Amino acid sequence: MRSTPSALLLALSALLSACGGPAPVLAGSWKHTVAAVDLPARAPVPQPNVVLLIGDGMGLAHLTLARRAAGGPDLRLGIDRLPVTGIVLTHSASSPVTDSAAAGTALSAGVKTGNGTVGMSKAGVDQLTLLEGLRRQKGYRTGLVVTKNVTDATPAAFVAEVASRKSEAQIAEQLLAERVDVVFGGGSGWFLPEAAGGSRTDGADLLARTRSAGGRVATDLAGFRGLDGLPALGLFATGILDSTRADQPDLAAMTRKALDLLAAAGGPFFLMVEGSQIDLAGHKSDVDYLLREMFAFDLAVQAACAFAAARADTLVVVTADHETGGLVLTADAATWTTKGHTATPVGVFAGGAGAAAFTGMMDNTALAARLAALTALAPFPAPDPGR
């Protein structure tokens, strides 16, 4: 189900955005479904499944705005129903205001690095990520689900080590080399040569290479629905996905599919899901876009919680890499104070096996360290010994 705005909100938002003024926030102006599923905080278990959901750019004001638009201040989102909450500090090694590459590295590898750097320490040392360590050392199945390019900064931080987040062609190669079991999102251009409509200048066709190696590849909705085993690579646009299009799978559908495929394969798994375009909405100062992406992300969180509620071996953690837009809310309007990121702390919300570890205030590197401790991944943080 895709959340939709009222015609009145669309008209008012467009008018005030064009005039540079604050956007109105009308209680109940969006249709958004919150299922009555509660995921309790449970005792830790050995080798839990881990579902880490990252709302890129999602600040606490973004959540407040979504509540208000969906039903008023008393409404609770799926994210809000998680029982354990905390606060996460987000600064990078190079600035009080992080970017997604440095924040993603902190959340994936437990180390601070400079803005723009993926999977490496400030000193330039490749770091072992949670996904890499759990796959190689603990036998975990792994997955990445996003709505931007699968080679973008946040997913890249879990599978790649590059000095610049802009090295997406190199990131695509490293992603496939890491043998991630499930990868869903956009960005097929970085897997295809220019001759085939892609962006690669080296002539490599990574999709053909994946198929030749026995991987399942889907590039449209029918192919997505037909995926029935691992490994599964689904790239549904040359660039980022569009949550308004019915011919592309939405984030909740991709999350459910990834969970089903990973669970069916047996054994523990680690799945990272990103609400990638919350950040883009903040950069564009677009309330309408923001709410659409917030609700899409909340539906993905609800899908993860529904999966975990039926079993005692799964941990769900929801957080953000940083806040985008400097969003300020008054009684009846939302105002953006910047088109960039801010230094504002973000929230963390958890339920399921070991969720109690995520209460209190913590650095983003500490969040990664707590996930490593719950999965017995040690030493962590640690240099990457290589594939």
* Positions marked catalytic: 100
Count CB neighbours of 135 within 10 A. Answer: 20
Rg (the chain; Cα; Å): 19
Count CB neighbours of 114 within 10 A. Answer: 19
DSSP code for 162? B
Residue 248: strand pairing partners: none
Tell me the CA distances in angstroms from 53 to 97, 180, 319, one per residue in order. 21, 17, 6
Of how many residues is the chain composed?
387
Q: How far is Cα 247 from Cα 223, in angstroms, rounded to an integer?
A: 11
Tell me the CA distances in angstroms from 242 to 37, 39, 184, 197, 249, one per residue in order. 27, 30, 14, 19, 9
Residue 101 has phi, psi (to 5 degrees) of: -65, -50
Count CB neighbours of 203 within 10 A. Answer: 10
Contact 142, 135 (CB under 8 A): yes
Give percent helix, percent strand, percent coil of the chain, each to the nearest 5. 35, 20, 40
Q: How far is Cα 308 from Cα 83, in angstroms, rounded to an integer?
A: 13
Structure tokens, 221: 């909705």
Half-sphere exposure of 52 (CA within 13 A, CB side): 25
Structure tokens, 74: 């008393």
Tell me the CA distances in angstroms from 213 to 143, 151, 161, 230, 300, one per residue in order. 18, 20, 23, 12, 30
Q: How far is Cα 263 from Cα 77, in angstroms, rounded to an integer?
A: 26
Secondary structure class of 12 (helix, strand, coil): helix
